[in-house]
Amino acid sequence: MSTNKKLTTSWGAPVGDNQNSMTAGSRGPTLIQDVHLLEKLAHFNRERVPERVVHAKGAGAHGYFEVTNDVSNYTKAKVFNGVGKRTPLFIRFSTVAGELGSADTVRDPRGFAVKFYTEDGNYDIVGNNTPVFFIRDAIKFPDFIHTQKRDPQTHLKNPTAVWDFWSHSPESLHQVTILMSDRGIPATLRHMHGYGSHTFKWVNDDGEAVWVKYHFRTEQGVKNLDPELAAKLAGENPDYHTEDLFNAIDKGDFPEWKLYVQIMPFEDANSYRFDPFDVTKVWSQKDYPLIEVGRMVLNRNPENYFAEVEQATFSPGSMVPGVEASPDKMLQGRLFAYADAHRYRVGANHNQLPINRPKNEVNNYQRDGQMSFYNGGGSVYYEPNSFDGPKESPEDKQQPYSVSGVADAVAYDHFDHYTQAGDLYRLLSEEERTRLVNNIVEAMKPVKLEEIKLRQIGHFYKADPEYGTRIAEGLGLPIPQEV
């Protein structure tokens, strides 16, 4: 007796013939009553959800986080407390600007998004492999990403748009310097650090608050790719990073990162030498040293790429008790934009999918919508109610903090976009500086307008005169005379 399972339709009926369409005679035409054929074709047309506008190309893996240093004096977030405590997680790495079929080894920041499945719900740290970003206000994000995508007329990448935007946005200089340095092309996804980038607020059981930044430091060591090798790999194996991560985990070479945090006392935010919520800046580790929290280990590959990696949704707004938002303007915009992107791309019920669904019980009054599976059954569907439905827990209310000023469209108070970029340049060895300058020169050569090049050279010069001079010489343009 055969033990093979019968092929069925989506409604469970057995399929009698999966090789031939039902036709009127041997030559057809095909009959519309062949509902199995219709379902196959219709489902095939819908097998792809819209790709992410940014971070479309990515790879992911499962793992766990283990606490190695209890930080309950800083936060009541259970995921970070109790030495030895393990929390399951899923991580997605990605490039930012490329489409789903783009190459892994391009010069681009890498997304570094971690979903912790905690007993208090999912906590997402949605960062990059860089500690800063190009802009510091979310209102500029659509314009910035437009420059990274394809020209609407030529449908080609447009370096003129890229450098035009950066030259008009000097706050980008720190991130541009990182991107054009050796760190702009990681050797693998395993050989790069990750950062939460933004400032967040931690609150402990006593209601005391501090500001925090996250640092995931690779235990494999930082390694980068030579641009020529990266370009060769992009042509020969555009999925090089995806393949490397999968194969490493598959053979038991589990990648690890140590999680550290920088802690800033709450009141320091009012007196620090620049605004600590400005995501284009880093905090000095001399002022706020790294404190170890735990280790992240990736030890299991996805069973199905689409179900787990492509449908995974991350939002910095997915927080747990003990973690709260800061006034970081980029973060404030992302709190809306990321979850809204998932509602558009995957659906309003994206958190019901297995890869996104919390491990703890979910109780709310959300109902219906497309693909709603956990729909509340016949339970009470409004609140407040007299039927013992789920109620708010005042002990989990977020901690208030004071705000001041007038409601206006204003920038951060600090406008020094050059010091940290210059400090980074001066930290590099001569060999690293040469590669950085060469990378920038080659990237700027295709820019069509000389005024854009000169404006950008002026920013490099303000960061460090040698930095700007070498780029100007490489482009055959005059060295700035005044700063």
Query: Does the annotation count 375 as an active-site position?
Result: no
Q: What is the 3-state secondary structure (H, E, C) of 248-276?
A: HHHCCCCCEEEEEEEEEEHHHHHCCCCCC
Residues 6+ apart with CB under 8 A from 481: none
Residue from 128, 129, 301, 351 carrying the catalytic annotation: 128
Overall size of the chain counted in residues: 483
**Whether the Cβ atoms of residue 289 and residue 101 lie closer than 8 Å to each other:** no
Indicate the SS3 state at residue 178: helix
Is the peptide bond prior to 384 cis by the omega test (within 30 degrees of 0)?
Answer: yes
Instruction: Work out the angle at residue 382's Cα, subtended by the Cα atoms of residues 379 and 388, and round it to the nearest 5 degrees.
Output: 55
Classify strands 323-325 and 290-300 as parallel, antiparallel or unpaired. unpaired
Locus of tokens 């390694």: 223
Dist. CA 229–CA 263, nearest whole Å:
39
Cα–chain center distance at 217: 16
Q: What is the dihedral of CA 327, 328, 333, 334, to 10 degrees?
A: -120
Other CB atoms closer than 10 Å to residue 194's CB: what's the count?
Answer: 27
Q: In which element (H, E) is residue 61 found?
A: strand 58-67
Query: Does the annotation count 55 as an active-site position?
Result: yes
Q: Which residues are annotated as a binding site for heme?
A: 338
Indicate the SS3 state at residue 142: helix
Locus of tokens 């283990």: 66
Residue 144 exposed, middle or buried by CB count within 10 Å (0-12, 13-18, 19+): middle
H-only helix segments in 169-271: 173-180, 227-236, 240-250
Residue from 36, 55, 62, 193 carrying the catalytic annotation: 55
Task: Kindly state the tokens that stand for 418.
Answer: 């050059």
**Whether the Cβ atoms of residue 213 and residue 199 lie closer than 8 Å to each other:** yes
Dist. CA 394–CA 400, nearest whole Å:
13
Is the peptide bond prior to 50 cis by the omega test (within 30 degrees of 0)?
Answer: no
Catalytic residues: 55, 128
